Amino acid sequence: MQFAFPFHRLANYTLIVSCLFAISSSLAAQKSETPPREQIGTCLGKPVYRDQIRTESISERNMDLNQYFFGPVFDRYYAEHQSILEPTPQEIKAFITDMHKNPKIRDMDLGNMFQTRGQIGWVKTQLKAPELSKADRQKLEQELRELQAELAMPGSSDARMLITVWKLDRHLYKKYGGGRIRLLKMGIETIDATHKWLEDLEKQGYFKITDPELRTALYFYWTPANDNDFVTEDPRIIRESIFEPEWLKEMNADEPLTAKKP
């Protein structure tokens, strides 16, 4: 009896192997054809890629530029200059006292106390979780301290934020030669000084944007092309906004007077 080799099975096997090889080759080709992410800059030593910056609208683009460049740079600069930018308890108290002259703001801050108590309870519950990392625990503990301060003095969270921004603006105005300011609903912002500050930080290597259009977009907010009716160089307004705000005058008035030496 002659043995018949199952050539049909060999043919099927060969076909299967060929198909698998073709599929794997196609996948490998697709993988190799995937373009690498295009880097358009760095911020604090970390790469920033084009796909992180949305360009569907100007507002989205500006939000992403703020998130990946301006925001991290501000946080780093604040940490490096915290001793002069951190609000003091006296400043916070004076600021709240001045703000609460407006009954609507006072009632709103007092009305938020119930919500603050709920947030404190939530944070305390999170802190009981045994699997918390050290970093997460520290973050929650800091949040708890801020919420407790807000409960003890309603309005302190907003006051702390606004005073910090005011201190930074005053610091930049003095350091970078004054210039125009923009009046906001809550305070002011320096324009020319902030523009020079960003340029200075860029030269120092805090950040770098290699795409010319995106770099121009980051700086545009601080250029004359973006001016409006609320931009001014009026010395009186600048003095009252940056150097002698009403709440600061009240705080200084509350300080005990010391007799001058003859």
Rounded-to-integer distance, Cα 93 and Cα 108, Å: 17
Checking if the pLDDT of 16 tops 70, the result is no
At residue 258 the predicted structure's pLDDT band, cuts being 50, 70 and 90, is: very low
How high is the pLDDT of residue 156?
85
* Higher pLDDT, residue 43 or 119: 43
CB 171, CB 84: distance < 8 Å: yes
* Higher pLDDT, residue 61 or 1: 61
How high is the pLDDT of residue 227?
86
Buried b / exposed e along 70-92 (16+ C-beta atoms within 10 A): bebbbeebeeeeeeebebeeebb
How high is the pLDDT of residue 3?
41
Q: Which residue from 215, 164, 220, 213 is spatially nearest to 194, judged by alpha carbons?
A: 220
Checking if the pLDDT of 89 tops 80, the result is yes
Query: Sign of the CA dihedral 150, 153, 154, 156?
Result: negative
Rounded-to-integer distance, Cα 27 and Cα 165, Å: 52
Q: Tell me what the mean pLDDT of segment 100-112 comes to.
A: 85
CB 92, CB 160: distance < 8 Å: yes
Q: Which helix (H) or strand (E) holds 231?
A: strand 231-232
Tokens representing residue 163 in the block: 């005073």
Q: Tell me what the mean pLDDT of segment 207-214 comes to.
A: 96
Strands (E), 73-200: 181-184, 187-190
